[in-house]
Amino acid sequence: MSLRHAVLGLLSAGPASGYDLLKTFELSLENVWPATQSQLYAELGRLAQEGLVRVAAEGPRGRKEYEITEEGRAELRHWLVEVSPAVNRRSDMLLRVFFLDQVGTGAARGYLERLAERAVHEHDQLLGIREFVIGQGDDALRLYGDIALEWGLRLTAAQREWAEWAAGRVAALEQEKAPEQEKALEQK
């Protein structure tokens, strides 16, 4: 149930409407905790009912500006400090690796090579973001933004190296098997 904490976290930096928050989710939280419009409005309603946020002001077009309450801030800090973070156990990417023996070495190598390419692409995008956000925010905000970005850079770099290494191992198996395939052809 981290959506609520993402919302509380964003509101801890200042009041915002559901619409505002949605933009933030699309822009900066896209790669960390995506959320849809339906989800957001529903969660804001629940948070307000439970007293963790409150409507601080109303604007044109039914705009409701939400503000975090002291109770909300307490919940945010409690979550940050006392609740241990959930590990990300599911990985579609890795699940496929387990079954790659079903498609032969050529296709398997292709899969791993595409993973490597994707990692390079993501890494480049993060480098672009880093250029863009350099020097923004105060000391603490910049630091934690940097730390998060650095994780993305290290993760994509590691993924590239691993995928290339793995593709190499599959290629080696391919070579080993090549003589056997020639033998099989000769037998025809």
Partner DNA sequence: GTCCACATGTAAAGGGTTACATGATTTT
Partner DNA sequence: AAAATCATGTAACCCTTTACATGTGGAC
Would residue 157 be called left, alpha or beta, if left means φ above 0 and alpha means ψ between -120 and 50 degrees? alpha
Tell me the number of residues near DNA by CB under 7 A. 25
Dihedral sign, CA of 157, 134, 19, 15?
positive
Stretch that binds its own copies, among 15-23, 58-66, 125-133, 161-169 (CB under 8 A): 161-169
Q: What does the alpha-carbon distance between residue 81 and residue 106 come to, in Å, rounded to a whole number?
A: 48
Q: Are 156 and 126 in contact (CB under 8 A)?
A: yes
Out of its own copies, DNA, none, what residue 183 binds, judged by CB under 5 to 8 A for its kind, is none
The dihedrals phi and psi of 12, each to the nearest 5 degrees, come to -70, -15
Q: Closest CB to its own copies among 10 and 44?
A: 10
Q: How far is the CB of 60 from DNA (least distance, A)?
A: 4
Among 26, 30, 50, 117, binds its own copies (CB under 8 A): 30
Alpha-helix residue ranges (DSSP H) falling in 52-138:
70-82, 92-98, 104-133
Query: For DNA, which is the closer residue by CB, 83 or 184?
Result: 83
Give which of DNA, its own copies, none residue 17 binds (C-beta under 5 to 8 Å, depending on kind).
Answer: DNA
Between residues 94 and 185, which has the closer beta carbon with respect to its own copies?
A: 94
Query: Under the criterion CB under 8 A, does residue 161 sit at the interface with its own copies?
Result: yes
With respect to DNA, which residue has the nearer C-beta, 57 or 173? 57
Place of tokens 């801890």: 12
Eight-state DSSP code of residue 28 = T
Options 12, 31, 36, 175; binder of DNA; rule CB under 7 A: 36
Considering the complex, state which of residue 144 and residue 182 has its C-beta at the smaller distance from its own copies: 144
Ordered strands of the 16-17 beta sheet: 16-17, 64-68, 53-58
CB of 119 within 8 A of CB of 156?
Answer: yes
d(CA 64, CA 56): 8
- The residue ranges that bind DNA (CB under 7 A) are 1-3, 17-20, 22, 34-39, 41-42, 44-45, 59-64, 90
- The residue ranges that bind its own copies (CB under 8 A) are 2, 5-6, 9, 12, 29-34, 73, 76-77, 79-81, 84-103, 105, 107-108, 110-112, 114-115, 122, 139-141, 143-148, 150-151, 154-155, 158, 161-162, 165-166, 169-170, 173, 176
